[in-house]
Amino acid sequence: MKKVLIVEDHADIRKLISMTLEFEDYEIHEAPDGVTGLLMAQTVRPDLVVMDVMMPGELDGLQVCKHIRTDPKLSHIPVVLLTARGQAKDREAGLAAGATQYLVKPFSPLQLIETIEQLLVSA
């Protein structure tokens, strides 16, 4: 069973993503902020991370993504960044931070499932 880590500060969006993925065969882990998300990535070693970009606290999604990319034990993990920021410069910043995919909110559940399945097959 593939492990998916959801890092999202809004509980309702975290629940929506979790509910979307529970119909698939995934072990789902959740984190409410960047620091917790990074710690969970280090301990759970997920097969994929779905993460918000804008989160309050010490680390936002871009910073967590950079940490994941520089950690040899985590650097292979695909990271899907979710954000309301859809400008070209925002997308470029996400990809520069090491994101594998960049989805703009609002996204469709089907789009999210297709993105995750595509990344997990190619991983």
Three-state SS at 107: coil
pLDDT of residue 10: 94
Provide the pLDDT confidence category of residue 22 given band limits of 50, 70 and 90.
confident
pTM > 0.85: yes
Q: Where do the structural domains in the chain lie, given as residue ranges?
A: 2-122
Question: Under CATH, to which class is 2-122 assigned?
Answer: alpha beta
Between 27 and 122, residue with greater pLDDT: 27
Helices (H), the chain: 11-21, 34-44, 61-70, 88-96, 109-122
**Per-residue pLDDT tens digits for 37-95:** 999 999 999 999 999 999 989 999 999 999 999 999 999 999 999 988 878 898 899 99
Q: Give the angle 33-38-40 at the CA atoms, nearest 5°.
A: 95
Interval 98-110 mean pLDDT: 91
- Mean pLDDT in the chain? 93
Question: Residue 52 — φ and ψ, nearest 5°?
Answer: -70, 150
Nearest CA-CA partner of 83 in 64, 106, 66: 106
